[in-house]
Amino acid sequence: MNKNINHPKPEQDLRIYSYIGLALVTIYGAAYYLFPDTLPRGSFDIVLGVTLIVSELLKAIKGGDYHFWMMVLAGWITFSGIEKISEIDSRIRSTFLMAMIVILLVRFLYNAVKGKYEP
């Protein structure tokens, strides 16, 4: 029996956030495919992207480059859904991707200068 129910470990917190996000995406995905005429096209992409962003943001607070990469992917999915719903130009998604590549490059160079990446 787990004695830390009232005070879960940080790993348990992260798993709880992941399970909640997975449940939200599963429920919305089922509704999206069962009732395709009631929900706008691209809305599932937005829900999936925002859920991933929030989940990975909560994990990224603990640190790690992997979670930042997942947030970039989630942002890409979200912009894809927004483009489908509002029919905006795809240059917004490309601009977002270029900005994220620059941020990742600066972050990599900063960590390389600090000595975190050694050959």
For residue range 51-105, what is the model confidence (pLDDT) as tens digits?
777 766 666 666 555 666 667 777 777 777 777 777 777 677 777 777 777 777 7
Task: Specify the pLDDT at position 119.
Answer: 45
84 falls within a domain: yes
The answer to whether position 3 is within a domain reads no
Q: Residue 95 falls within a domain, yes or no?
A: yes
79 close to 93: Cβ distance less than 8 angstroms: yes
The answer as to whether 52 is a domain residue is yes
SS3 content of the chain, % helix, strand, coil (to 5): 75, 0, 25
43 in a domain, yes or no?
Answer: yes
Q: How confident is the model at residue 58, as a pLDDT?
A: 66
Q: Are 70 and 56 in contact (CB under 8 A)?
A: yes
Domain that holds residue 108: 10-114
Number of domains in the chain: 1
Whole-model pTM: value is 0.45
Q: Does the residue 33 lie in any domain?
A: yes
Contact 71, 57 (CB under 8 A): yes
Whether residue 1 lies inside any domain: the answer is no
